[in-house]
Amino acid sequence: MRVLVFSDVHANLTALDQILADAGDVDAVWCLGDIVGYGPDPNECIERIRRLPNLTCILGNHDAAVLGMIEAEAFNHDAQRVIQWTQASLTEASLRFLMSLPERVVLGDVTLVHGSPRQPVWEYLLDAQTARYNFDFFDTPFCFVGHTHLPILFHFDEFDPHPIGGYLPPNQAICLTPREIVNPGSVGQPRDRDPRAAYAIYDTETYLFEHRRVEYDVLAVQKRMRSARLPTRHIERLAVGW
């Protein structure tokens, strides 16, 4: 089965549409959370995603925040502003969809969460040591995560106490081996100094995981963000991917 895997769209419809076009036909879609936050198109992104075929979608921390499940004060000032703007912008249909999202799903060989297996909504997996502790919190061969906006893989061998971590090369397919935690990067807010939208194609039979990058019209998104009076820092960072 050919699966489209993506995370952290962050209300960036232009980037989302670009990865959907680039991915082509797929058998299923796995969205790892944070559909909203930062960007100007929360309702449009939710509507586009909820209509994707064979969709499995996870709750992210920004999704939870706009639902009031996480206090806005837990975020920095700029992120708080966007949470409040998003809360005022969401339709009832969008809210219902976000409220329906689970924090964790297991699909065959893969556990899906937004943050980490240990803390599905909030914890960041930024280093091998934190990843090591998290291997005790899922039983499947693989765990797919988002949240950090970094395309990265952590591999754990039970005979070696030190997991290996590394960035995924763009536009290359690697064969996953148990046990691994994998992050496809961010569609709408990359943070690895590459402004291109990030996503992955995963083959459930061969375990091939292809990390892809695709250019999109950043200027058009920045224009919509300015029209909505969203934070300048969030607008500027799109152009450089930080």
Residue with the bigger pLDDT between 157 and 214: it is 214
Q: Is residue 132 part of a domain?
A: no
Q: Is residue 54 part of a domain?
A: yes
Digit-coded pLDDT (tens) for 88-112: 999 999 999 999 999 999 999 999 9
Which amino acid, 206? T
Distance of CA 163 to the CA centre of its chain: 22
Q: What is the average pLDDT score of the chain?
A: 96
Domain that residue 88 falls in? 2-104+169-177+185-237
What confidence score (pLDDT) does residue 74 get? 86
| Domain count of the fold of the chain | 1
Q: Is residue 122 part of a domain?
A: no
- List the one residue out of 3, 7, 5, 31 whose CA is nearest residue 148: 7
- List the one residue out of 37, 38, 42 whose CA is nearest residue 60: 37
Q: Is residue 208 part of a domain?
A: yes
The residue-averaged pLDDT of 33-61 equals 98
* 158 confidence band (pLDDT: 50, 70, 90): confident
Q: Residues 75, 83: contact at Cβ < 8 Å?
A: yes
What confidence score (pLDDT) does residue 164 get? 82
Q: Is residue 130 part of a domain?
A: no
The residue-averaged pLDDT of 174-193 equals 97
Digit-coded pLDDT (tens) for 196-239: 999 999 999 999 999 999 999 999 999 999 999 999 999 999 99
Secondary structure class of 110 (helix, strand, coil): strand
Q: Is residue 31 part of a domain?
A: yes
Q: Is residue 55 part of a domain?
A: yes
Q: Is residue 158 part of a domain?
A: no
Q: Phi and psi at residue 119, in whole multiples of 5°?
A: -130, 90
Where do runs of H (alpha helix) occur along the chain? 13-23, 42-50, 61-66, 77-89, 92-99, 128-134, 218-227, 232-237
What confidence score (pLDDT) does residue 205 get? 97
What CATH number is given to the structural domain containing 69?
3.60.21.10
Digit-coded pLDDT (tens) for 57-89: 999 999 999 999 998 888 899 999 999 999 999
